[in-house]
Chains A and B, each alone.
Chain A
Amino acid sequence: MTTTHEVRVPGRVAEAEASLLQVRGLSVSYAPPRKAASLGTGAALADADLDVRLGEVVGIVGETGSGKTTLARATVGLVRPLAGSIEFAGEDVGALRGRALRAFRRSGQVQLVFQDPLRSLDPDLTVADLVREPLDIAGTLSRRDRAERVDESLRLVGLDPDAMRDRQPRELSGGQRQRVSIARAISTRPRLLFCDEPVSALDVSNRNLVLNLLDQLRRELGLAVVIIAHDLSSLAGIADRVAVFYRGRIVEQGPIHEVLERPAHPYTALLTASAPSVEPGAGQSARLRPEQLVPPAGSRPWPTDGVCVFAQRCPFAHDACTDQPALLPIQRAPGRLAACHVAASWRDRLGGHQAERESA
């Protein structure tokens, strides 16, 4: 485990089959408000499972505070989980402590790209210092190799090393800053890259640039990439699979286009229906409308806790929903999972419901 393992060429079929990252039953709670209250959004995470394979881009969507950032932070070890296991390349990294944890981190195989590069890049350091820092900390490469690796990483993210090297973060544009933080993450040649809302602070023209860059890195370096986002359409352009979070739980998981085209969970349906669209009129008839997916006025009130997490906002909530449904495979849809008692049948009930609402 050094920082120098080779760049994997695409075509490692055997390896791609097995999960690189396997998260099982991960739960996090911030229940006792510690004095360091600035941790994440404070959302808890309940019983989350996630698999990521090499060369794959997995998207994670959900509203703010739904636990997606917590999942990333717990997986990389910034937050101690209450329960669950985190296996990386067959090794139980969740159990690592002290020296072993530090050694694993120095190997640089898992990297996290923070949401806001302005906050995650030390304002006093130069770009070269910043990108080199993980290498300096690991200390396995010679000074010259490190400098070369910095240049190479900067070039990989599309920045000119000569122009960038001595600048400070405040002298860069938003898109450049985000690319510097990606360059820092890939300088150790990681195998897994976690990106926490990598584009939500960027302008439209930079947004796709960074997403394309991640896609390209996935292909060139054989990386596994996890992208946390709240923008469905940017994920649609790049991710292979998607996990949808709602209030600390994964409510749906599966291949992205299938999930977005034909959501199995009412929340996913609400998400896709709410996404604004520029296509004038196109597909509007086929698509669900958000109004169809909110409970009608005067429907049964649901408690906040102890029932299905989505029951409060679900038009299909019924008696069975007093139990939180487990994330189960969907029939006749390989690779898809949903946590809903009526995953298979809510669409059929939409018709009557819709007519009801239209008359209103």
Chain B
Amino acid sequence: MKTLKALWRIPSARLALLVLAAIAFLAVFGGALAPHDPLKQYTDEVLQGPSSAHWLGTDYVGRDVLSRLMAGTRLSVVGALEAVLIGALLGVPSGLVSAWLGPRLEWITLRISDTLVILPFTVFAIAVAGTLGNGLQQAMIAIGVLMSPIFYRVTRAAAIGLRRTQYVEAAELMGATEWWTLRKHIWSKVLPNVAVTAAQAMGAALLVVASLAFLGLGITPPAPTWGGMLSADLGYLSQQPWAPIFPALLMMATVGSLNLLADSMRDVTGATTAPRRRPRRTTARPEKQSREEQSDVVPA
């Protein structure tokens, strides 16, 4: 709550939150509020410019563009959200585990994440869609799995930095279980990092969903999505050169807002993708401890 209030005080974050709130609203109510049926083809009004009946015009089979954009929000956003959730669910726990529970698990999880990192999103998603059938779910699971290394790395980096902090050591000396330490001391510091990553990943996922839809993957044709609309509009550039602007603008606004939000969150919470600022040590040198050493804490 405090974080949200602090975010609200940053103008760019406020703008981002407003845009995202509007997008969320569209995702939920967009279909119901659309002025026309997004699938209905007004065959005599193909490729019309904006008019009072069709504010943003019609597409190549005469469907209302505004209605399709509004209705398409849900599929696009929900798809991306699904991918991010899967990524976080896979990445965050494994990141914590790798920082906490022994070198063997650490090695295994690191290798898995390395393997996933080298796979290109879109190509992998196409392969999965090819194998498991062309559906949004399959594609999103694939994207989610590929996103998990991002969450894994961020969580791990934050947790490893915290592992050797003195308050964690102090908790260990009090006889705290690992679970206690995780819950009481680690989680509150890892969470902001995860949130920042989630916002960034959400933007990326939206783009991937759009590009898949653009390629005709993941979503079966008549259903409206931003990417699918963009793709269709590009085929009629000579007739309607301005048409791709609408879906593109919407995507840019959403992804841009998510990135803005991520930046502001990082500023507000002090989260970093690297470990938190470690205590500054004036070079403790085991091999050099002999003659003169310097204390590492000094009266201010």
- Confirm or deny: A312 has a beta carbon within 8 angstroms of a beta carbon on chain B: yes
* Contact flags A89-104 to B (C-beta < 8 A → 1, else 0): 0000000000000111
Tell me whether chain B's interface is mostly helix, strand or loop, or mixed: loop
Interface string of A70-114 (1 = CB under 8 A from B): 000000111000000000000000000000001111111001101
Indicate whether A53 reaches chain B with its CB closer than 8 angstroms.
no
B173 touches which one: A41, A66, A77 (CB < 8 A)? A77
Chain B residues in 8 Å Cβ range of A33: 286
Q: Are A38 and B278 touching (Cβ within 8 A)?
A: yes
Contact A78 B297 (CB under 8 A): no
Report if B279 contacts A (CB, 8 A).
yes
Closest CB-CB distance, B197 to chain A, in whole Å? Answer: 20
Residue contact A43 to B286, C-beta cutoff 8 Å: yes
Is the Cβ of B296 less than 8 Å from the Cβ of A122? no
Chain A residues with CB under 8 Å of B285's CB are 42
Nearest chain B CB to A73 CB, angstrom units: 9
Q: A65-B284, A197-B297, A247-B290 known; A133 and B165 CB under 8 Å? A: no
Closest residue of chain A to B278 (Cβ to Cβ) is A38
Are B173's CB and A76's CB within 8 A? yes
Query: Which A-chain residue is minimally distant from B294 (CB atoms)?
Result: A64
Known: A124-B188, A133-B184, A230-B295. A103 touches B300 (CB 8 A): no
Q: From DSSP, what is the main secondary structure of chain A's interface residues? A: loop
Q: Which residue of B lies closest to A77 (CB)?
A: B173
Nearest-CB residue, chain B, relative to A112: B173
Does B127 lie at the interface of the complex (its beta carbon under 8 Å from any beta carbon of A)?
no
**What's the least CB distance linking B289 to chain A, in Å?**
4
For residue A115, which residues in chain B have a CB less than 8 angstroms away from its CB?
A: 297
Residues of A within 8 A of B294 (CB): 64
| Cα separation A33 to B169 with both chains bound (whole Å) | 19
Q: A39 an interface residue at 8 Å Cβ cutoff? A: yes
In whole angstroms, how far apart are the Cα atoms of A203 and B299 in the complex? 6
Q: Across chains A and B, which 10 residue pairs bring their CB atoms closest together, nearest first?
A: A42-B286, A105-B175, A106-B175, A65-B289, A120-B166, A65-B293, A64-B293, A134-B174, A122-B167, A119-B166
What are 23 sample pairs from A and B whose C-beta atoms fall under 8 A apart?
A33-B286, A38-B164, A38-B278, A39-B164, A63-B293, A64-B296, A65-B284, A106-B174, A107-B175, A111-B173, A112-B170, A114-B166, A122-B184, A122-B185, A125-B184, A134-B175, A137-B171, A138-B175, A200-B295, A200-B298, A200-B299, A201-B297, A247-B290
Binding site for A on B (CB under 8 A): 163-167, 169-177, 180, 184-185, 188-189, 278-279, 281, 284-286, 289-300
